[in-house]
Structure 1
Amino acid sequence: MASNSRGQFSSKLGFIMAAAGSAVGLGNVWGFPTKAASNGGAAFLIIYLVMVFLLAFPMLVAELTIGRYGQSNPIASLRSIWTKNRAAAGFFGLIAMVAASMILSFYSILAGWLMGFAAAPALEVVGLQSAADWLVNFGDARNVILALLFSLLTIYVVQKGVADGIEKWSTRLMPMLFVLFGVMIVYIFTQDGAMDGLKMYLIPDVSHVTPALLVDSMGQAFFSLSLGVGSMMVYGSYLKKDVNIPKTAAQVAAIDTAVAFSAGLLILPAMFVAKNNGVEIFNAAGDLMSSGDLVFAVLPAMFDTMGSMGMIVGTGFFVLMVIAALTSSISLLEVPVSCAQDELNMTRRKATWVIGSAILVLSIVIALNFGSLFGLVADISTVYMQPLLGVVWAIVVGWIWNRNKLLNELKEGNPEIEQGLFWKIWPWYVRIVCPVAILAVFMFSVL
């Protein structure tokens, strides 16, 4: 099984902060509000909350349980369950590792931009306008250098290990994220126009509920919890045996959802504040003009209309985005690093630098061929690989894993689980409902 040198989370809070950090990324702080704004606000919010409860949470329990049972990386953990076909188990574990690496390669470029936007206002204040412009304007050199900086930051945290790196930094960064969010939401609510955004976000318009909205909201719920790519399996493998997995998974899902909800509370009112200040955000048909650069065009334009306060709010907002990106990127890098440690007997330091550098090379290739590669790599890894791997994990837990062994693993942290409602519903739910629902959404999004 696993090597004895494997790290462990030193506390349950440390795990919850790290797992929530993995889940809380650009998908929540950028993707969720953008999709909510494009899909009528409240209608999207309600369906999203339903999808987190019905689909993402049961799958989160499945991934954490696989990881803790195997006490190893995704390849070895899957093999420990799928004993009759170890080759298939190894193959899917490897694919998860590739998917995590691909996501990190394009994620680092986005996160680098956020670092640029966070640093630019400070440079403007000290009179370095041309340097500030360079940081916020699209260009090959800027894209490569900022991706390099963000990658080094990720490598630095991961090489420190589970307790000293991932846990320590997550427990520092996540509370900072929550406080920044709170301060910024309160500030935005004092601005003219904010209440219109709040109405759109909280008062549902049933006419917006379409099949496309269902697909968007389920995809968002799935990606927002870092499901499918093995991150949660790896984090599960660092969990102590006395942890109640369903309860802990519910706490992680709740924090993640609260952050997505807060991001909506911040960004939708902010869009209407921007509109009130003369920034164009909707076209003549009432559709969001450009969801892709909402964060890089609309919000900075709004911060500019706020005078000196706008600079502080803008810097705070982008620092918050960088923190969200970093807590996710460390969980993505941890997937291939844990595989290299266990399967190739590499030291953590060497594994982190070798793999981190290889992913950075891929980031640079994507940055230099942005138009043709960025969207392609993002689609292959998130639209195709993530949901299909999710289906595989559901099949492993629902059909391949011996039911008694699965029950015994869950009993470790919750001896009474067999009598409760959770155990009566969850096994067949993961077996039938989850794979069918994920496949249905996948087919719809692809066709």
Structure 2
Amino acid sequence: MPEISGKGRETWATKTGAILALIGVAVGLGNVWRFPYMLGKFGGAAFLAVYLFLIVTIGIPALWAEFTVARYTKSGPATAFIKAGLPGGKYVGWLLVMVAIMAVSYYLVVIGWVLWYFLGSLGGMYTNVDAGTFFENTLGSMSIQAAMDLIVLVFIGMILLGGIRKGIERASKIFMPFFYLSFIVLILRVFTLPGAMDGLAYYLKPNWSAITPMTILASMGQVFFSLGLGATWIFIYGSHLSDDQDLVSSGVWTAFGDTAAAFLAGLVVLPAVFAFGIDPASGPPLIFITLPEVFKQIPGGLIFAALFFLALFLVAVLSAIPGFEIVIDAFEEKFGWDRKKTTIFMIVIEFILGLPTMYNLNFLLYNDLFWGSTMLPIGSLIAIITFTWILGRSKAFEELRKGSKTKFKGTLETVLFYWIKFVLPIFIILTLLWGWYSFFTS
């Protein structure tokens, strides 16, 4: 087995900060944009019940596997699989770095839309304009999208220059509590709307007949992408966990924080759309078209709209930062570049790579199909193979138990190991197939 160095690698300053940073990776646009839409489309509480079951049985074990490999190697994706001894680890690592570079490029454009809607809410720019028209005008303006993208890039760059502790961890400690508090305020306001309780009932009262194979597949896809799995986003942060950090509880808290964010988003969105008689399965435009129309009809709605889009913007930024950190880590190990040099490089290259998405939305859709829906499940499979087949049961569980109060031993260890080794890959392959199916049938 290759020697693990990792000496001098910056770790999170506090255990709470580490957990909030990990939750920040998981909580992003998917929790607020996609989760309520999926609930509306696949039976409300029935989808939620399946989702919660899969978070526990699939999501958390997958997080444990990625955290274990990441901390064992004390490296990001670029070199972790070389150090772990995976055949072809060098090529796998740089492929995952490319995934990060490409996926971030179009994700940043969408974050720019969120920022524009925050500014639009403050300035009342869509008050007297149909929300659909406002969104079309946003997509049709290269100058608006480019300006927002550049602001997002500079904002992220400022956080990155602070490093793991003074940059990312400090931002996570501010942004995540702000998100949760903001959405609690929004929930309290939405619940006062006439008809909102119908949406709450749809959300919380399960219709078990709505659980179909499609519901299960959709829930599985949401679990996978919501948690930031794929040997990339959550992996790079896992590599900065200290040896005394409890990986078991870290996985549980990450999943809990991510699920709580998605649950709160559902409590805002579904009662709001029910209150105004809007189809809860109205699709991805829910955030940029449907909700702005709802906010316009609420007294003082633009204030709540601004709060909504600001909270969404901040967590979206947190979920994008690991993509940059993957490249910073790779370039430092491979080329000796410092953090400042790589950050500036990334700002320039990501702005350029984002231009096609600003020009034509199809670039976003097809890029996401390949770099997101395809490559991330493959990356997660590679992490699981490394955990089970390359590290092996003894080394993997020795690392997983390190710093943990939960000591997987005996039958429990055996069951978990073979669950990760044989069952998780099946679910991940189904997630990959579901992503392709959803793309070509939507």
Instruction: Give me the TM-score of the superposition, normalised by structure 1.
Output: 0.91
Query: What is the identity, as a one-letter code, of the residue corresponding to 1:191?
Result: L
Counterpart position of 2:184: 182
Return 211-220 or 295-304, whichever deviates more. 211-220
The residue that corresponds to 2:206 in the other structure is: 204
Is 1:408 aligned to 2:398, yes or no? Answer: yes
Between 1-10 and 160-169, report the one with greater CA deviation: 1-10
2:33 touches 2:284 (CA, 8 Å); kept in 1?
Answer: no
Moved more, 10-19 or 243-252: 243-252
Query: In structure 2, what is the equivalent of residue 91 of structure 1?
Result: 91
The one-letter code sitting in structure 2 at the alignment partner of 1:293 is: P
Task: Give 1:400's aligned amino acid.
Answer: I
Please show how residues 107-126 of structure 1 align to structure 2 within 5 Å: 107-124=107-124
Q: How far, CA to CA, are the matches of 1:416 and 1:15 in structure 2?
A: 19
CA apart distance, 1:205? 1.5
Query: 1:82 is matched with which residue?
Result: 85
Specify the alignment match of 2:304 in structure 1. Answer: 313
Mapped contact 1:115–1:318 kept (Cα < 8 A): yes
Quote the residue 1:101 is aligned against.
Answer: 101
Partner of 2:375: 385
Q: CA deviation at 1:103?
A: 1.9
Instruction: State whether structure 2 residue 317 is matched by structure 1 residue 357.
Output: no
Does the residue aligned with 1:296 lie in a helix, a strand or coil? coil
CA deviation after TM superposition for structure 1 residue 147, in Å: 1.3
Secondary structure of 1:226's partner?
coil
Q: Residues 142-221 of structure 1 correspond to what in structure 2 (within 5 A)?
A: 142-221=144-223
- Which amino acid letter does the alignment assign opposite residue 25 of structure 2? S
The equivalent residue for 2:440 is: none
Deviation sequence 1:299-355 (CA, Å, 0-9, x none): 110111113x10111111111110120110112211111111122211011112112
Instruction: Return closer, same or farther for 1:445/1:165 CA change in 2, 3 Å cut-off.
Output: closer
Which of the numbers 290, 299, 302 marks the counterpart of 2:291?
299
Structure 1 CA distance for aligned equivalents of residues 8 and 159 of structure 2: 18
Residue 429 (structure 1) aligned with residue 430 (structure 2): no
Kept in 2, the 8 Å contact 1:119–1:315? The answer is yes
How is 1:272-291 mapped onto 2 (pairs within 5 angstroms)? 272-275=274-277, 281-282=278-279, 288=281, 290-291=282-283
Which residue is equivalent to 1:254? 256
8 Å Cα contact 2:6/2:74 also seen in 1:
no
Cα distance in 2 between the residues matched to 1:416 and 1:377: 40
RMSD: 2.2
Aligned partners of 2:107, 2:406: CA distance in 1, in Å? 41
User: Is 2:15 the counterpart of 1:25?
Assistant: no
Mapped contact 2:236–2:325 kept (Cα < 8 A):
yes
Partner SS state of residue 357, structure 1? helix
- The one-letter amino acid paired with 2:376 is Q
Distance in 2 between the 1:153 and 1:422 partners? 45
**In structure 1, C-alpha distance between the alignment counterparts of 2:376 and 2:105, rounded to whole Å:** 15
Structure 1 runs not aligned, ≥5 long: 276-280
Distance 1:6 1:357, change over 3 A: farther
Q: CA deviation at 1:415?
A: 7.2
Label 1:418 to 1:216 Cα distance change in 2 as closer, same or farther (>3 A).
Answer: closer
Equivalent of 2:336, from 319, 323, 345? 345
* Aligned partner of residue 402 in structure 1, secondary structure: helix
Question: Size of the alignment, in residue pairs?
Answer: 429
Determine if contact 1:2/1:342 at 8 Å carries over to the other structure: no
In the alignment, does 2:138 pair up with 1:137?
yes
Whole-Å separation in 2 of the counterparts to 1:415 and 1:170: 25
| 1:242 aligned partner, one-letter code | D
Closer/same/farther in 2, CA of residues 416 and 15 from structure 1, 3 Å limit? closer
TM-score by length of 2: 0.92
2:432 aligned with 1:442 = yes
- The percent of aligned pairs where both chains have the same amino acid is 29
